[in-house]
Structure 1
Amino acid sequence: MKFKNKKTIFMLSLSVCLLLTSALWLSLRPVEVIAVHKDGSHSYVLVKKFPCTEKGKLKWWLKNKDALKDKYKIPSPASDGSFVVVFWDFGDGYKETDGYDNLCFNDMKPPMNCIEKNSLLMVRNSENTGSYFVLDSGTYRMNNKGDIVKNKSD
């Protein structure tokens, strides 16, 4: 592939550098936990700046699950050990219900107790199934070795 002039090479190099810098910045920015809402063994974590990739989301959970347990007391397992933790994009913040598709929290007084439904990661655990993770592209399970593998049926 030949380039006709130095200006084209410079612009291409600059574009690649900007793209790599943006990718690095996105991968290094810290996740902000805005709030945690609980309903029995279900925990709803409202976040900003969550990792963009599915691999990044899973790595973030594995790295931060102990800190979440210490700071927010989640997950909150039922007596049989099962739990659900859902990470939601906080987006534009709390809002009034639209009466249809918002997620509203009973532990807050209306009207500003809802968010738009944009789940980022669901972590589930039960005695029968073990730990598994639900993401946009499908379901992943943690095997006996601690490796996370995508379900073949997805």
Structure 2
Amino acid sequence: MSMDIKQIQDLIKFVAKSGVNEVAIEEKDFKITIKTSKEPTYVTATLPTAVQPVAQAPVIAATTATEVAAPATKPVGDDTSHLITIKSPMIGTFYRASGPDKPAFANVGDEIAPGKVICIVEAMKLFNEIESEVSGKIVKILVNDAQPVEFDQPLFLVDPS
């Protein structure tokens, strides 16, 4: 059995959501161990010698939802119940642009539609373009560029009207 990167990402998402502390899968030519805690999540993979070994497993800092929540003091009349939240589909590092000297994929005030790339989430050296699944106008970006994100962490608030 050999796992591709999508299966590994799915496994990481599952472990992160399930709340278990450790998962280990071992086959004759493949071994992967995922350990989680309230601290950072560590991923260690041992691959067959035909594949270039990972020099260092990525360390992904865990952030709780309360750390990125909106400020507790909201102005009266600031109703956000009609807004749509776009969430991260995976654990990784959030990037607003394809490079440091490139324009951001999406800014506050931009109109977006399904299929439009709005950010990149880098996971295990793979840059995953995240496309919008909704139409509307971006009213708030909830994550800073190059910040670690968790699976299902809110990234954008979109006004669908």
Q: TM-score, normalised by structure 2?
A: 0.27
* Larger Cα-atom Rg: 1
Structure with the higher helix share, 1 or 2: 1
